[in-house]
C-alpha cells in the first residue's frame, strides 16, 4: 500500500530537515507524471538516522536494495556513515539521499527550495529550476521526459 501522505507527515512530525525531490516534487510543481515513491534529500547524521528509525519503526522499514531486505532498524550500526538510504516500508518506498545529481548536497539544494503546504505540514520542496537540472543530469528517458514537461510548466509560469 502506497501512502506518501503518511510518509511525509512522519518525516515532518519527526522534525527532520529534508527537501522533497524526485517525481513527487514534480507532481507538486504541476507535473502529470505519477509516482509511487517518495524521494527526499537530507544530511544523514547519526541523529537524523535515529529520528528516521523512530518515525518509521512501526512501518517495518527494510533496505530494498539488498537481496535479504535487511531491517533499517538494525542496519547500519549506530554511528556508521551513510550517503543514501533506499527503504521499503509497509506504506511505500522512500529514498533518502544526501545529495542530488546535477545540484549537489543538501545545503545547496535547501538554498533554492520552496516551502509548500503538504497534507497540513509545511515542507521544503526542490525548486522547479533545480528539479529540471536534476532530471536532466540523470539522463534517463523517463527523467528527460519529466524535464521537458517541467520546462513547459516553468515557461507557462514565466508568462504569468
CB 49 within 8 A of CB 94: no
> Is the pTM higher than 0.85?
yes
Biggest CA–CA distance in the chain, Å, is: 51
- Assigned domain for 137 exists: no
Question: How many angstroms separate the CA atoms of 160 and 142, rounded?
Answer: 28
| CATH number of 33's domain | 3.30.460.40
- Assigned domain for 141 exists: no
10-residue mean pLDDT series, the chain (160 residues): 86 96 95 92 95 97 91 90 94 96 96 93 96 96 96 92
Is the four-CA dihedral 136, 35, 53, 89 of positive or negative sign?
negative
Q: In total, how many domains does the chain have?
A: 1
pLDDT at 78: 84
- Assigned domain for 158 exists: no
- Assigned domain for 75 exists: yes
- Assigned domain for 118 exists: yes
pLDDT at 20: 98
- Assigned domain for 121 exists: yes
- Assigned domain for 119 exists: yes
Domain containing 58 equals: 4-127
pLDDT at 2: 75
pLDDT at 81: 86
Q: Count helices and strands (H / E) in the chain.
A: 6, 9
66-78: b (≥16 Cβ within 10 Å) or e: eeeeeebeeeeee
CB 113 within 8 A of CB 126: yes
Amino acid at each position: 500500500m502506497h501512502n506518501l501522505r503518511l510518509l511525509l507527515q512522519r518525516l515532518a512530525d519527526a522534525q527532520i530537515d529534508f527537501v522533497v525531490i524526485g517525481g513527487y516534487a514534480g507532481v507538486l510543481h504541476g507535473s502529470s507524471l505519477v509516482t509511487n515513491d517518495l524521494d527526499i534529500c537530507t544530511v544523514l547524521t547519526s541523529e537524523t538516522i535515529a529520528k528516521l528509525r523512530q518515525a518509521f519503526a512501526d512501518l517495518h522499514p527494510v533496505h530494498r536494495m539488498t537481496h535479504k531486505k535487511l531491517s533499517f532498524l538494525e542496519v547500519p550500526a549506530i554511528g556508521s556513515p551513510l550517503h543514501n538510504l533506499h527503504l521499503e516500508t509497509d506504506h511505500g518506498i522512500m529514498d533518502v539521499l544526501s545529495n542530488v545529481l546535477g545540484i549537489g548536497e543538501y545545503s545547496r539544494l535547501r538554498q533554492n527550495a520552496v516551502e509548500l503546504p503538504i497534507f497540513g505540514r509545511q515542507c521544503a520542496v526542490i525548486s522547479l529550476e533545480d528539479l529540471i537540472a536534476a532530471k536532466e543530469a540523470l539522463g534517463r528517458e523517463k527523467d528527460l521526459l519529466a524535464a521537458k514537461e517541467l520546462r513547459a510548466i516553468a515557461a507557462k509560469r514565466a508568462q504569468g
